[in-house]
């Protein structure tokens, strides 16, 4: 990934001029903005960057498949959210939460997906999805409690919360 010169992450970015510098020290400047809507309905603003001249570039075959200059679509909002997410998960609290999530939460999602056949929400809208997820959780917890009653394990914990 770090050796792929066509990736945005492997190019220098000048925030003041709002331009990227490619492997051949050419500038990729913004040439326009467009709005994109995903299948889920999420709308994002995309900035389109284009290289000033790729004709004589020795790295063109590694950088782009286009006949003309290299073009790159960048969502600045996505980059901000990704950096915030990275900051959150690498903090000391984030490391602790990730450790506990891998033990506690992932198993529950696995059961919902495999045993209950859950793949996607059937409703739209924040409140409707919240209600649907709450019903899924009720069903999961009732099933779990039923199993504890059957095995006479009420009041006992399988895992204590880990502290690092």
pLDDT higher than threshold 70 for residue 142: yes
Let me know the angle formed at the C-alpha of 160 by 159 and 164, rounded to the nearest 5 degrees: 120
Alpha helix (H) residue ranges in 9-162:
60-63, 76-90, 92-114, 126-150
pLDDT at 160: 67
At 18-50, the pLDDT tens digits run 999 998 899 999 999 999 988 888 889 999 999
On the question of pLDDT at 129 being above 70, the answer is yes
Q: Can you tell me the distance from the alpha carbon of 103 to that of 110, in angstroms, rounded to the nearest whole number?
A: 12
57-80 pLDDT, tens per residue? 888 888 888 888 999 999 999 999
């Amino acid at each position: 990934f770090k050796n792929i010169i066509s990736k945005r992450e492997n190019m220098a970015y000048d925030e003041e001029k709002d331009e990227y510098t490619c492997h051949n020290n050419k500038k990729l400047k913004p040439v326009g903005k467009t709005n994109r809507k995903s299948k889920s309905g999420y709308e994002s603003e995309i900035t389109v960057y284009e290289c000033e001249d790729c004709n004589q570039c020795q790295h063109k075959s590694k950088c782009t498949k286009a006949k003309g200059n290299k073009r790159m679509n960048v969502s600045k909002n996505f980059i901000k959210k990704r950096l915030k997410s990275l900051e959150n998960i690498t903090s000391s609290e984030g490391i602790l939460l990730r450790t506990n999530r891998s033990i506690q939460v992932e198993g529950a999602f696995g059961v919902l997906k495999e045993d209950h056949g859950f793949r996607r929400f059937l409703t739209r809208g924040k409140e409707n999805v919240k209600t649907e997820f709450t019903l899924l959780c009720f069903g999961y917890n009732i099933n779990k409690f039923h199993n504890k009653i059957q095995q006479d394990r009420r009041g006992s914990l399988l895992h204590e919360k880990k502290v690092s």
